[in-house]
Structure 1
Amino acid sequence: MNPLLLDIPLQMNTERLILRAPLQSGDEEIVFKAIKDSFNELKAWLSLFQEIPTLEETHILLKNAHINFLKRESFRFLIFKKDGSKDFIGTASLHGIDWNIPKCEIGYWVNTKFSGNGYMMEAVKELVDFGLNHLALKRMEIRCESKNLKSRFIPEKLGFTFEGTLRNDDLSADGSKLTDTCIYSRIS
């Protein structure tokens, strides 16, 4: 089946969270504020956030995420608390999709003020269930820098298999040194 014909929900719900595609007016302001509030943590691990993006750059980032969602190239979801507060938790995505296998990689970042509450674990678990059961993916990966213990905790807690460490595999987020990449996977 052509991936463009897949019925992909624009919103998914967990016990405490709403995961939805970034397409509503005002999303860029919410995400922009979270990036600013979480900048020190994001800068340490993500090359995308070596400088705080402008509101316009954030808007473009979300528009591109929506375009890629529609093209079935990646599925980025904004994560909100379901308790009525609508607090923005962070983002989680299925990206690097190879429909021939089919497989993907999972990526995520959390708004610092909500870190440590298990929200990202809950969101990633939902994406894993969605990928394996709804999309019938055969392989899902989480890759992260070996020193990023918070990111590594999620696949370890969700029962992913640790496949190994690629030594000197990537540059640090700031581009100053080589880093090791840990690879975790779930297969169907």
Structure 2
Amino acid sequence: MNPILLDVPMQLETERLILRAPHQTGDGIMVNEAIRNSFNELRAWLPFAQELPSVEETEINLRKAHISFLKRDSFRFLIFHKDTNDFIGTTSLQGIDWDVPKCEVGYWINTRYSGCGYMTEAVEEIVTMGLNQIKFRRIEIRCESTNYKSRSIPEKLGFVLEGTLRNDELSADGTRLTDTCFYSIIK
């Protein structure tokens, strides 16, 4: 089946969260604010967070994510608290290989919501959707070996650590080599 014909929900719901595709004009303002509030933490791990983006750049990025969602190239979701509607972060199914089919999970959290289990809850929901609705046969999570907060998510969700690739990538700031942990869950 051509992936464009897949019926992928634009919104998911968990006990505490709403995950929705970035399709609303103006999402860039709140996402940009969260990036600014979390910049020091994000900068340590994410290449995209080496410089503060403008609100316009964030809005453009989200509109491109919406297009990618519709084209079935990746599935990004914005995460909101169900009771307060506060923006918590993003998670996505990305790096999709439809031939296998498989993908990778990406995520980042607004620092003020870190440590509450929200990201684990959100990732669990999109992984469940990916395995059961989209029918991925393999879902990966890759993260730097020293990013223990990020590593705790696949470990809590039953992913298997397949290995650590030594000197695999440059650090987010491009100044040193880092090791990458590969986790997966299969169906």
**Does the pair score TM above 0.5?**
yes
d(CA) in 1 for partners of 2:36, 2:146: 23
Quote the RMSD (CA, aligned, Å): 0.5
d(CA) in 1 for partners of 2:3, 2:121: 26
d(CA) in 1 for partners of 2:108, 2:56: 20
Deviations 1:42-63 (A, max 9, x none): 0000010101100111011101
Deviations 1:87-115 (A, max 9, x none): 00000000000010000000000000000
2:179 equivalent to 1:177: no
Could you tell me which residue of structure 2 aligns to residue 55 of structure 1?
55
2:19 equivalent to 1:19: yes
Unaligned runs of 5+ in 2: none
The one-letter code matched in structure 2 to 1:170 is E
The one-letter code matched in structure 2 to 1:138 is R
Deviations 1:61-91 (A, max 9, x none): 10110111011000000000001x1000000
Could you tell me which residue of structure 2 aligns to residue 105 of structure 1?
104
Correspondences of 1:57-136 after superposition (within 5 Å):
57-83=57-83, 85-136=84-135
Q: CA deviation at 1:25?
A: 2.1
Unaligned runs of 5+ in 1: none
Identity %: 67
Return structure 1 stretches of 4+ with deviation > 2 angstroms: none
The one-letter code matched in structure 2 to 1:182 is C
Q: Equivalent residue of 1:25, what SS? A: coil
Q: Equivalent residue of 1:90, what SS? A: strand
Deviations 1:6-37 (A, max 9, x none): 01111000000000000112210010000000
Q: CA deviation at 1:127?
A: 0.7
The two structures have a TM-score, normalised by structure 1, of 0.99
Q: Equivalent residue of 2:61, what SS? A: helix
Could you tell me which residue of structure 2 aligns to residue 156 of structure 1?
155
C-alpha contact (below 8 Å) 2:93/2:126 kept by paired residues: yes
2:15 equivalent to 1:28: no
d(CA) in 2 for partners of 1:59, 1:158: 31
C-alpha contact (below 8 Å) 2:26/2:59 kept by paired residues: no
d(CA) in 2 for partners of 1:67, 1:128: 21
The two structures have a TM-score, normalised by structure 2, of 0.99
Q: Equivalent residue of 1:137, what SS? A: coil
The one-letter code matched in structure 1 to 2:68 is N
Could you tell me which residue of structure 2 aligns to residue 147 of structure 1?
146
